[in-house]
Amino acid sequence: MSYPSPQRAEARASLSERLKEQARALGFELVGIAPATDADGFARFNSWLDRGFAGEMSYLPKFRTERQNPNSILEGVRSVLMVGMEYGRGERQPNPLTPFPKKEGGTEPPVVLSPSPLRGGVGEGLQAQPPPPPPLPKGKGEQVLGASGRTASVNERVVFSPFPSGRGDGGGGSPLARVASYAAGPDYHRYIWDRLNTLAAWLEAEAPGSRTEAVADTAPLLERDFARRAGLGWVGKNTMLINTRRGSFFFLGAVLTDLELEPDSPSTSSHCGTCTACLDACPTRAFAEPFVLDATKCISYLTIELRSDIPVELRGSVGNWLYGCDVCQDVCPWNRNAGSRTPAFPHEPDLAWIDPAELLDLDADAFRVRFKKTSFWRNRRAGLLRNAAIVLGNIGDERSLPALEKALTDPEDVIRNAAQWAIDQIRYRTSSVKSGLPSAPSD
């Protein structure tokens, strides 16, 4: 749908600005408009699929061709409104938790990079060009890390701790498992989608005869690609969309329309510079190279998307992550001072850190009551309790053994398998401590 000349340009600009105002009023801090042409990243997406990095996410190759152009979602689409809504990060560790990676001749404490702060102030606009973070010092005791091949010195290493900062243990004396920040609240799909539909209805009322389609991770749209083209940010080396003012802790959503709206200037520059903090800090070394994630090694994939057993060689690297992972975002310098305002998306602290031993006692009905309206519902009871057992095995607390032994009789194979692995880990470590042997986790 187009406006008649000569009022077309003025009407288009006016409607575009009013649409953005409506989006901000609904809690979307980031708003921009992109033309609905072929996705720039479609070729890269195809290459990523061909390399097998999607794992068991069969819906991605199934709708491969549909992601080339948003016309597959809304016929006659001309514009894509992209929005971002921040989510709370709650209480975080000074450094993200990582497991004990193996090393020849023994074990090494986990390595988490604390990148040096950006020099100068963070610019207000996306075109700001601050100097890149300075490289970390090299010195005695260096270790090559991650996809970057960069080195980290011994003073950058931190130890595993199962407790959130300032929280101690989980009430009953049990260590807590960590949840990715985005999941510590209601199911974001519904929360975002409801507001996008409100926005779409407003647009159709303002332009009678127009058609819209709301998308919140619910259709084959390369969202980060169109968000970059709408000026919301750039895609970082950790593959997250990053905004200079907001960092990367935000959800993306879209409203497609057959109206010709005024497009925003795209983000054409990367502000990652020489920084490789995200690549180096990844507990499972999931980045095949900068800007390329092998999802089959990513903790978020392993704890959410994967329905089968988590590969034995990656279980120790899951650490105490129960659902999802924030490591590559936590270490990003652009997130240091971002998100200081209270976001529109509700944060529920009780969902940010959870007692994994308690989860093992949930039957199907109890799980449904507790998690039906949250993101945890995505991988169902079997997936979440599998993860809980893995976390308990990594924490290694003998007090978890009764809950794990009870889980050995669970009807779900993945829960029983994870529970047995966790029991073996705890008993091995316990016997190692008593005998004075190295307490390296086993494969």
Q: What would the pLDDT profile of 289-326 be if each residue is shown by its tens digit? A: 999 999 999 999 999 999 999 999 999 999 999 999 99
Structure confidence at residue 221 as a pLDDT band (50, 70, 90): very high
**Residue 3 domain-assigned?**
no
Q: Round to whole Å and give the CA distance between 381 and 300.
A: 16
Structure confidence at residue 443 as a pLDDT band (50, 70, 90): low
Structure confidence at residue 431 as a pLDDT band (50, 70, 90): confident
**H, E, C per residue of the chain:** CCCCCCCHHHHHHHHHHHHHHHHHHCCCCEEEEEECCCCCCHHHHHHHHHCCCCCCCCHHHHCCHHHHCHHHCCCCCCEEEEEEEEECCCCCCCCCCCCCCEECCEECCCECCCCCCCCCCCCCCCCCCCCCCCCCCCCCCCEEECCCCEEECHHHECCCCCCCCCCCCCCCCCCCEEECHHHCCECHHHHHHHHHHHHHHHHHHHCCCCCEEEECCCCCCCHHHHHHHCCCCEECCCCCEEECCCECCEEEEEEEECCCCCCCCCCCCCCCCCCCHHHHHCCCCCEEECCEECHHHCHHHHHHHCCCCCCHHHHHHHCCEEECCCHHHHCCHHHCCCCCCCCCECCCHHHHEECHHHHCCCCHHHHHHHHCCEHHHHHHHHHHHHHHHHHHHHHCCHHHHHHHHHHCCCCCHHHHHHHHHHHHHHHHHHHHHHHCCCCCCCC
**Which backbone phi and psi does 345 adopt, to 5 degrees?**
-75, 125
Judged against a pLDDT cut of 50, whether residue 144 lies above it is answered with no
**Residue 151 domain-assigned?**
yes
Q: Round to whole Å and give the CA distance between 404 and 359.
A: 10
Strands 241-242 and 250-257: what pairing?
unpaired
Q: How far is CA 175 from CA 40, 92, 130, 355, 394, in A?
A: 45, 15, 41, 7, 11
How far, in whole angstroms, is CA 5 from its chain's centroid?
45
Task: Establish whether 350 is a catalytic residue.
Answer: no
One domain for residues 427 and 322: yes
Interval 234-264: pLDDT, tens: 999 999 999 999 999 999 999 999 999 999 9
**Residue 43 domain-assigned?**
yes
One domain for residues 12 and 142: no
Judged against a pLDDT cut of 90, whether residue 185 lies above it is answered with no
Q: Round to whole Å and give the CA distance between 409 and 63.
A: 39
One domain for residues 36 and 67: yes
pLDDT, average across residues 74-98: 76
Total structural domains within the chain: 2
One domain for residues 199 and 287: no
Q: pTM of the full predicted structure?
A: 0.79
pLDDT, average across residues 356-364: 94
Catalytic residue among 217, 264, 280, 443: 217
Residue 336 belongs to domain spanning: 102-116+138-183+274-435
Tokens 């905004």, residue?
243
Structure confidence at residue 373 as a pLDDT band (50, 70, 90): confident
One domain for residues 297 and 165: yes
**Residue 132 domain-assigned?**
no
Tokens 């303002």, residue?
206
One domain for residues 154 and 166: yes
One domain for residues 109 and 244: no
Judged against a pLDDT cut of 80, whether residue 169 lies above it is answered with no
pLDDT at 402 (0 to 100): 95
**Residue 269 domain-assigned?**
no
One domain for residues 71 and 210: yes
Interval 35-69: pLDDT, tens: 999 999 999 999 999 999 999 999 999 999 999 99
Instruction: Name which of 185, 202, 306, 312 is nearest 257 in CA terms.
Output: 202
pLDDT, average across residues 3-17: 73
Judged against a pLDDT cut of 90, whether residue 194 lies above it is answered with yes
Query: Could you give the percent of the chain with pLDDT greater than 90?
Result: 65
**Which backbone phi and psi does 12 adopt, to 5 degrees?**
-65, -45
One domain for residues 359 and 303: yes
Q: Round to whole Å and give the CA distance between 34 and 277.
A: 30
One domain for residues 310 and 383: yes
Strands 321-323 and 177-179: what pairing?
parallel
Judged against a pLDDT cut of 70, whether residue 115 lies above it is answered with no
pLDDT at 186 (0 to 100): 87
pLDDT at 338 (0 to 100): 73
Cβ contact 248:272 at 8 Å: no
Judged against a pLDDT cut of 80, whether residue 367 lies above it is answered with yes
One domain for residues 297 and 431: yes
Structure confidence at residue 100 as a pLDDT band (50, 70, 90): very low
**Residue 440 domain-assigned?**
no
One domain for residues 65 and 110: no
Look at 21-30, 106-115, 206-215 and tell me which has the smallest mean pLDDT.
106-115
**Residue 19 domain-assigned?**
yes
**Residue 318 domain-assigned?**
yes
Give the CA diameter of the chain: 86
pLDDT at 433 (0 to 100): 67
pLDDT, average across residues 210-233: 96
